[in-house]
Amino acid sequence: MRCTFLPPTDEIDRTLSESESNRRSLFRLRFPLDEQPLFVTELGDYTVLELAEKSARLADNGTTLCNEKWTTGVVRLKTGAEIPTTVKLSRIDDDQLVVLLGQNITLKVIIAEQSRLLAKYGKPRPADK
């Protein structure tokens, strides 16, 4: 199923402004290239570049997620853990899709994944951010 991307409405613009400010206050996890999870949907697989409790940043794979309805999928971590959720397109930044999560990722899951990555790779240097 394809969804036509429509320009944001005032309500979505207001949500974007709120989510942009929330983005700074919520915990976000950026993944190294070899550790990037997948978000698996019936539309295709999307590489997860960044994960937060209420949102994610995905690499654009050429298919369009919809900003009007939720798409069901599973975040598949490199550990094999699978987290079912739904996403709705919030905005497109160059070749990246910023999506809102219908079911939040728990902070416990995000911190566990961060701990695993820190143990494996160490703390990122400022140039790596």
Q: State pLDDT tens for residues 54-105.
A: 999 999 988 878 889 999 999 999 999 999 999 999 999 999 999 999 999 9
CATH domain 10-119 topology:
Thrombin, subunit H (2.40.10)
Mean pLDDT of the chain: 83
Cβ atoms of 71 and 41 closer than 8 Å: yes
- 59: which residues sit within 8 A by CB, 6+ positions away? 46, 47, 49, 95, 96, 97
The residue among 69, 60, 41, 53 whose CA lies nearest residue 101 is 53
For 50, the token pair is: 């960044």
What is the DSSP-derived secondary structure letter of residue 80?
Answer: S
User: What's the pLDDT score for residue 24?
Assistant: 45
- The reported pTM is 0.76
